[in-house]
Structure 1
Amino acid sequence: MEVKRIPLVEILLTIKNPRQDAANDPELAGLAASMGHEDEPTLAQPPIVEALENGQYRTVSGERRIRAAAMAGWQTVECLVRPPLAPLVAHRLRVVENLHRKELHPLDQAVALKLAWHSTNAVAMGLSDQVAGILDKEQVPAQTLTELETLLSQHGFVPNHPLVSWDETLDGLGVELDQERRKKLLQVLGVAPEVQAQLRQMDITEAGLRALAKLDPQDQTRLVEEMTEDPALARKVRRISHAVRAHDYGLDEALAEARGVMPEMTEDGAQETDEASPPSPVPSPINEPLADLVVQLMEAAHTLKTALESLREMAGEIPLSALPDPWGPYTLDALTSLRVALETFQMQE
């Protein structure tokens, strides 16, 4: 690689960047102010670009720095220039660069990690050329992921028995992520694609995204529309989602409850439509951290109940202690830990 000062107009940004919020990053102005003067830059790490055959350059990593340079009024920026890269190499560099720098949005992180896992397994299955063709397309990562999933499905890929494990993939990227954390992160991919761009502009947590992903796509779209009108709802997504899933609320009822009001109900359970009867107020928790913890507990109880029912159905008449190793001992350990936790809590009452 060589270091070269390149006019910004000759650098092509790519929508293949795992970070999909770079153009609207509110911290760009601060980055621009910290970069020094164009003639005396204070960039610790220059952007990396690849030289194209037409004389232009395409970003491999450092899109935020390039955008910040343009915001600061620079005409040129020093870059590390690499020769044209194979699609798999360029993709890997983009993923590693973004995973190890400024925190990625959970949606972008989940897509980037699953892309890495799928592409690594596809290569191990002898599909290198097809993978390269998909990665070489100028399209957003979510679309690339969809095409890779289709390719793997067509060639008999079994996610529970991959040729390359998640641990091997993460080790290759230098990313530390235990199994529980990874599974939680990947749940955000259940968010409907058509609302993801809007969500990137909202103050919604990863836990909120996971809760949103558990709703059907129509309710997701409606709830995002409501959050656009009332941003405070972004902090109550988990509460709304739980009300819909665990208490059989309609979305309108769950939204009303989250806002602190509930519609009057007729004797048959329908919502009262008489405008002369205003909604009855329902106390809304003032302590938001407390509300979050209670919702977590409610979600955990619902998950545990579902898991136990499924386990009992699968085991049939076999006692849980008699399940084949290691699942029998694992089950008893989990139930013992739960029992101890509940007894400890009750003793403190």
Structure 2
Amino acid sequence: MEILEKLTAAFGVSGRENEINQLITDLVKDYVDEVVTDGIDNVIAIKKGYGEEKKRIMISVHKDEIGFMVMNIDSDGFINLRPIGGIPVSLSIGNRIIFRNGTVGVLSFKKDVENIKNNNVGDMFADIGAKNKEDALKYIKPGDVGSYYGPLCMLKNDRVVAKALDNRIGCYVAIKALTENTKPYNDIYYVFTSQEELGLKGAIVASRVVKPEIAVAVDVTSSFDTPVTKEGNAVLGGGTAIKIMDRSVICDESLIHIMQDICKTEDIAYQSDILAAGGTDAGAIYTSNEGVRTGGLSIPMRYVHGPVGVVDMNDVKACIALLKSFVNQKI
């Protein structure tokens, strides 16, 4: 859990990803043949395979998190914010924000929250305890970036809560699969992509660089097992979710079958991930170059894009087991 705790704690709002880049590089560099960071801040860890008929496989996991940018500071020292990525206002109010320099504040909203779903994210502000604008400017300036503040904690039944589980839990899966699989059959490019929350930008660039023959995007998916959301496929504790489709992609059927067969043979708990909305790096990769056979693995998560999320570590372990086996297949 120490690795996951470090991953979720690291700052890495889209486009401001230096801290999470360095952490991931430090965690994987001794287990791969090469680690490079490209011009858009993708971290690419390359592990060569031994197979005679090996394929070039790209495992894509985005490392950026949603957050906020400071637009301006009013005369009373309150900090006006704009979203970086999709921010659910109703889940954010009253929670804490931490800026990259370590300054902590409280998120609030300028309007009556009774009809919050119709309110503008641009009406959010942060209170850092400043006395006035001059005081606030000692700590924060326009253009600074902040993220939710929510340290990792254990819940009951092997479930964890933390900020940035979307998608640091996917990073954790890739890192565990990478470090535990010393001799893969295929050439594996573990790509920790940037700016997914701004439109899959890192994956667009990385797929052009890597030119994969096969790709798998690992990300979270909504868990349909709360009082708010019950009409869907994936639930906490149901195993790793094999993506069938979302708004951005219909996954390669042959890869779906390979993943399902691995789970049946190796007794790995799995379920299906079928969404009418949302999207992952898979949506950018499968149409890249001359087209790429692309699949997806998902970890069900409650409160997606909220200040904190909840995942089941048994689902995470199942995802790691499936990914480790998949990259060793003769595909």
TM-score (normalizing by structure 2): 0.27
Relative contact order (C-alpha < 8 Å, sep 6+): which is higher? 2
Larger Rg: 1
**Going by fraction, where is helix more abundant, 1 or 2?**
1
